[in-house]
Amino acid sequence: MIQIKMIRKKLPTSVYFSSIEDSNFSKHWLQKLESYPPSIIKHCLKFIKEADQQRRFLGYWLLEQHLLDNAFEPSLLLLDSILRDKTQKPHFAKYSELNFSLSYSGEIAICAISNQSIGIDIEKINPEINLEHYKTMFSSEAWSAINSAADPIISFFTYWTQMEAVMKADGQGISGATNQIIFGNNTISFKNIERELLYIPTFDGYMAHFVGKDTKDTRIKRKYFNL
């Protein structure tokens, strides 16, 4: 029986991101997907649009890179133990001390992993977005700050990615009482729990934020797809 090597020391919090537009990706992603467990293949291919399939797969691939870089072996056995809670937040079935968060938008997938409760969100900035559709999701203070900003669109996506990230860290998902979130300079609070905020630089035209109890020394790295 294959044994899973588990390193139980504290993991460095890290964020990996990648693009489906990397030169090797379109040629080889299906080949790599076929090596994954049936549950992951099914989850990726349930989407109708190929770009949606590719982003989901890329998120799993990034998670695999995290596991390999942190001495988990064989990583795919761990991937096959992924479950989803009632909010559809994924988690490892056997290793509750490992927390990860995935997000996708446009051509990008992003994945964070840590020993602490975390959340991450990335959004492709849409200059045509109708901000009024989202007014009720923010507190009056946050909504005022968005609309009074020099660039309300950029401000909206800044607040939105912070909001999504903290709701993921809390475990509720975007269906929670988002208008009760309190935004600080580098902190964000929900249900009287204050967490740290970290802006994640990725690509032009995207906004991404990471939330955790401690964001100091978080490692951020672009990963280029390979087999």
Query: Taking the model in full, what pTM does it have?
Result: 0.91
Q: What is the CA radius of gyration of the chain?
A: 18
Tens of pLDDT along 20-68? 999 899 999 999 999 998 888 999 999 999 999 999 999 999 999 998 8
183 within 8 A of 154, measured Cβ to Cβ: no
**Which of 103 and 227 is assigned the larger pLDDT?**
103
Q: Is the peptide bond before 74 cis (omega within 30 degrees of 0)?
A: yes
If pLDDT is split at 50, 70 and 90, which confidence band does 1 have?
Answer: very low
User: Distance (Å, rounded) from C-alpha 220 to C-alpha 28?
Assistant: 25
Tens of pLDDT along 148-157? 999 999 999 9
| pLDDT at 3 > cutoff 70 | no
Q: In the predicted model, what is the mean pLDDT of residues 173-177?
A: 74
User: Distance (Å, rounded) from C-alpha 25 to C-alpha 65?
Assistant: 15
Predicted confidence at residue 181, as pLDDT, reads 95
| pLDDT at 7 > cutoff 80 | no
Predicted confidence at residue 208, as pLDDT, reads 98
Question: Over the chain, what is the mean pLDDT?
Answer: 89
If pLDDT is split at 50, 70 and 90, which confidence band does 76 have?
Answer: low
Question: DSSP E strands: which ranges in the chain?
Answer: 14-19, 82-84, 90-92, 99-105, 108-114, 118-124, 182-183, 187-190, 193-199, 206-212, 219-222
- Could you give the domains of the chain? 14-222 (3.90.470.20)
Share of the chain above pLDDT 90, in %: 71
